[in-house]
Structure 1
Amino acid sequence: MKMILNNRYFGKSLLLVSACSLWMLGACTGDFMETNTDPNAVTEEELGYDNLGTGSMITQMQYQMYPCITKDQNIDVNNYQKMFSLAGDIFSGHQGASNMFDSNGRNNTTYDMYPDWCAAAYTVAYQNYMTPWYTLYTKRNINPSTFAVGQILKVFGMHRITDMYGPVPYKDFAPASNVPFTSQQVIYEQFFSELDEAIGILKEFIKDNPGAKPLVSYDKIYGGDFEKWVKFANSLKLRLALRIVYVNETMAQQKAEEAIRDGVFIDNEDNAMLKVDGSATVNPLYMICYTYNDSRLGATMEGYLKGYEDPRLDIWFAKSEVSGFKEYNGIRCGSMFNGNDYKVFSNLNVSSSTPIQFMNAAEVYFLRAEAALRGWNAGGDAETLYENGIATAFSQPLGATQAKAGDASAYIKRTTLPKGYVDPKNSSYSDSSTGQVSVNWADATGFDEKLEKIITQKWIALFPDGQEAWSEFRRTGCPRVIRVATNNSGGRIDSKKQVARLPYPTNLSKDYPDLYQEAVNNSELLGGADNGGTKLWWDKRNDKPYQN
């Protein structure tokens, strides 16, 4: 990203981002406490034409979950990079940063959490998810079905935000008000009730209006197919249920079984994929990888795909010529280098019009496999669901060419282990330690090993969604993510345990000191230091592998 460290400051001085100027909705705020007024915004009368007043809010929310609009000096792409590429994507081991940036490595890549980067997701969420959602909320009695879709999007977007930071303002949110921070426990409970409400509204609409698609012009994921949205909501509910299993197993089981019983994703036709046109909207990874040259294959991902002889390696990544021959080369998080040294490593195979993945059916099978492993009613046994997850992942269109990995039968029986990492530029960054599970279910010896197999295959299938992969790594300790090569956290983040969260935006402690101090000091909220080493509410597994 050009001049990334000199980018816009977040908080009261924040400029309106691209979604506002593109849609001219007047729906963005400078931060969650204050409201900006856009003199160019369309009027309420104009918003009434062709469902614009509510339908366009759905489009805005979708395009801002993964900022993808190419306008105003690529603000959206820059935001995406700070929200994901320089956070969950590298912390999960999916990708590696091929740029040292202007800070000479004193940034997230080395655990010296850079404030501007860490603030991006928080700010985008309250401007571009929550404020348009609130518009839908105020019109919920007029257009309940559109509100229901917005409710599902809100839960999808905000579960990622709370899983980055911990407690955030959520309950009783309204623009231009001082909203206290809500505990993750309460947020998750509200997520479940909001999803249930949305599912009920959409089912009622489907029953009363068979075949109707009032959002066909605005919904860039499903084209207004509400039956697909119900499946998405249930699949998301299942994801959230497993997230809390180590802190509230009873609720986790109840919500997971409800979701599965009501109907979740079963094949790739159900996948939630955001369509972009490659021009006005793009897959941000294309610009990040090919215009900025800032992201490459991650070292951990390289080791798993090579060790398992995974055909997706060829689909997702390009070979590089580093040491005289073409090979797949990943970058280890925390590697220190000069200039363009690592930009020659393996790039991502992504185009400007590659759809952006919200959630896929493969993940849902792996969620069900874990549920079955725990003895819950998951609609099948753990082994079958696990193998169905792999087969579904292999049949999903992937990468720039939307190719499929093909038949998974040989892969499912594979007994090889992940490979160690070899850095062809700097041997001191090589790491010979690897994960200790194969793909083959039959050679697992107990619960923990079976769970690791499930999570490892889910971690692979989630690519390029590093944010969700990072969350699952924090929850379970799986797979084995190579530790950071350089830790500049000053002892705040343990290299063995790795990054637990993002710090809050620095402006919060200055502009809203009472709310901020309550969030940090209250044991029912964050209850710990505002740094990358403080664990989240649901991060309670005590026997995580590979952390000793």
Structure 2
Amino acid sequence: MKKIIAILTIGLSMTACVNEDINTDPNSAYTTVPGALVTYTQKELSDYVNTPSVNENNFRLTMQYWQETTYVNESNYDFTNRNVSNNIFLLNYVNILNNLGKAKEIINVYDPTPTEAPNWPVNKQNQLAIVDLMQVYTYQLLVDTFGNVPYTQAANLNAYPLPVYDDGATIYVDLIKRVDAATAKLVNTTSTTDFDTFTDGDKYYAGSIQKWRIFANSLKLKLAIGIADSNPTLAQTTANAAIAAGVMTSPADNAQLPYLSASPNYNPLFENLSASGRDDFFAGKTLVDYMNTTNDPRISHYYDPITGGTYVGQVIGQGGEFGTFSNIGEFAYTATTPGTILNYTEVAFYIAEANARWTPAAAATAYTTAVTASIVEWGGTPAQATAYLLTKPYDAANWKKSIGEQAWVAMFNQGLTSWNFWRRLDFPVLAAPATAIINAGGKVPVRMAYPVLEQQVNNSNWKAASTAIGGDLLTTKLFWDKF
């Protein structure tokens, strides 16, 4: 991590006394090696996906896992007040995608040393494939958040300072093709040179090509399930191919960032809940009540009990005194809790959904595997999972409810992923608080509105995109959200 801290310091010092263009990343020095840029983008990506910062990622609130204690704007879907969409664009397009693009540029022009030269063609191929997989993952996040987004003209700010917005369904098709192309380029290598598949820079898999291949197949499955209702034929063939090629089969395959114990490299949960010295969050009533009724063994890991040993959540949209309701669990107050990008439990639920849709005879077993994976992930035992499943058996007649509710519980610390399951399967049934902003239309949001900044500086393309998706509203369903 030492390299990236230096890069951040250089970038900040270089921009401290100049006017800063919104499309310029102030945190990067592009004379560095690609491994350092990969480290930086992996951390930026993990920080965004895992942070509970109300300025960037409010999906734990949206999915009614957490509730704000004092300032309840975001629990009531007022995201404009903090320019949340602006921040999401900045983080993903500038900090992540732009830096990944720069990494590709450096890789493509790198002149290897005589020692590196024999292995460089394979290492170059692997490095470009890994970078492309990270780009695919990031673009899927953006499409799933907004709908149509800049894609073909994105992350090329010199050529396209005001990029057009591409059709979300078309982007998805291309992302699947890109995963296939990247996977085909991944080649095992025994080289130990400094440029060997980012061994030093890759903090997710330490340069393991086999792990990246499993990640690629798992990402392909995620893409397939994402369009299961909007493009079922492509979804089925893509899902079947991904599973056959080999997806995650245990937590050892997880894509995650190993956070460190010291600032600035500790988990953003710890940063916001502990290091900040603030008491901004406690348990949301919706999930706490659900888990209480089923004696869910995960509840003691998700939340802390109040005095008397019970678990109590606050009504969604309402504040309260910290300590009156259950606090978020110890994992969120631990600096080194890994940052999840894609994990085995999530993949297990995709397999369960794929079977429910296309191979019903195998669905019950896959559902059991997925629920068990989640309970074990959170410190439970297979025996506890068996007992829990007696209270929540698989219902083939209403599989969306079975999988939707259990994926919701399982994705407790993966708010963005949980939001996707909920929008696609329509379970659990979530009600917006009576205090929600008028723009929510009395509903839980199904998308984020485009950034206000885009309306101001990229107005014509913003208007075209808004018209194409049916309106730039929190209530506008994405192309894949059919029911």
**What per-residue deviation string (whole Å, max 9, x for no partner) do you get for residues 132-155 of structure 1?**
111133245452312211111122
Aligned to 1:527: 470
For the structure 1 residues 20 and 293, does the alpha-carbon distance in structure 2 shift closer, same or farther, using more than 3 Å as the test?
farther
Equivalence map 1:323-338=2 (5 Å): 325-337=308-320
One-letter amino acid of the counterpart of residue 532, structure 1? L
Deviation of 1:534 after TM superposition, in Å, equals 1.2
Deviation of 1:314 after TM superposition, in Å, equals 1.1
CA–CA distance in structure 2, aligned partners of residues 134 and 35 of structure 1 = 13
Q: Which of these residues, 432, 445, 454, is aligned with residue 484 of structure 1? A: 432
8 Å CA contact retained: 2:89, 2:451? yes
Q: Which of these residues, 20, 41, 44, is aligned with residue 29 of structure 2? A: 41
CA–CA distance in structure 2, aligned partners of residues 463 and 288 of structure 1 = 17
Aligned to 2:112: none
One-letter amino acid of the counterpart of residue 38, structure 2? I
For the structure 1 residues 489 and 136, does the alpha-carbon distance in structure 2 shift closer, same or farther, using more than 3 Å as the test?
same
Aligned to 2:68: 97
8 Å CA contact retained: 2:52, 2:272? no
One-letter amino acid of the counterpart of residue 515, structure 1? N
Equivalence map 1:209-288=2 (5 Å): 209=190, 214-279=197-262, 280-288=264-272
- 1:153 corresponds to 2:124: no
3-state DSSP of counterpart to 1:540: coil
Q: Which of these residues, 21, 28, 46, is aligned with residue 8 of structure 2? A: 21
Deviation of 1:502 after TM superposition, in Å, equals 1.1
TM-score between both structures, scaled by the size of structure 1: 0.76
Aligned to 2:456: 510
Compute the RMSD of aligned alpha carbons: 3.0
- Structure 1 residue runs without a partner (length 5+): 1-16, 69-75, 399-403, 417-438, 542-548
3-state DSSP of counterpart to 1:302: helix
For the structure 1 residues 344 and 94, does the alpha-carbon distance in structure 2 shift closer, same or farther, using more than 3 Å as the test?
closer
8 Å CA contact retained: 2:76, 2:436? yes
Equivalence map 1:407-446=2 (5 Å): 407-408=382-383, 411=386, 414-416=389-391, 439-441=392-394, 444=395, 446=396
Deviation of 1:22 after TM superposition, in Å, equals 4.3
Q: Which of these residues, 539, 542, 548, is aligned with residue 481 of structure 2? A: 539
- 1:468 corresponds to 2:417: yes
One-letter amino acid of the counterpart of residue 481, structure 2? D
> Which segment is superposed worse, 346-355 or 248-257?
346-355
For the structure 1 residues 30 and 146, does the alpha-carbon distance in structure 2 shift closer, same or farther, using more than 3 Å as the test?
farther
Which protein has the bigger helix share?
A: 2
**Identity across aligned pairs (percent)?**
24
CA–CA distance in structure 1, aligned partners of residues 355 and 390 of structure 2 = 23
Aligned to 1:133: 100
For the structure 1 residues 288 and 392, does the alpha-carbon distance in structure 2 shift closer, same or farther, using more than 3 Å as the test?
same
- Structure 2 residue runs without a partner (length 5+): 110-123
One-letter amino acid of the counterpart of residue 251, structure 1? L
Q: Which of these residues, 489, 494, 499, is aligned with residue 441 of structure 2? A: 494
8 Å CA contact retained: 1:112, 1:487? no
CA–CA distance in structure 1, aligned partners of residues 252 and 473 of structure 2 = 40
**What per-residue deviation string (whole Å, max 9, x for no partner) do you get for residues 91-148 of structure 1?**
1122222231xxxx4x331133324223221111111111111113324545231221
3-state DSSP of counterpart to 1:189: helix
- 1:119 corresponds to 2:86: yes
8 Å CA contact retained: 1:83, 1:121? yes
**What per-residue deviation string (whole Å, max 9, x for no partner) do you get for residues 255-309 of structure 1?**
1111111110011111112111021311111232233222222222212322221
CA–CA distance in structure 2, aligned partners of residues 464 and 187 of structure 1 = 27
8 Å CA contact retained: 1:302, 1:330? yes
For the structure 1 residues 31 and 292, does the alpha-carbon distance in structure 2 shift closer, same or farther, using more than 3 Å as the test?
farther
3-state DSSP of counterpart to 1:387: helix
CA–CA distance in structure 2, aligned partners of residues 186 and 26 of structure 1 = 41
Deviation of 1:224 after TM superposition, in Å, equals 1.2
CA–CA distance in structure 2, aligned partners of residues 414 and 485 of structure 1 = 30
For the structure 1 residues 363 and 151, does the alpha-carbon distance in structure 2 shift closer, same or farther, using more than 3 Å as the test?
same
One-letter amino acid of the counterpart of residue 152, structure 2? K
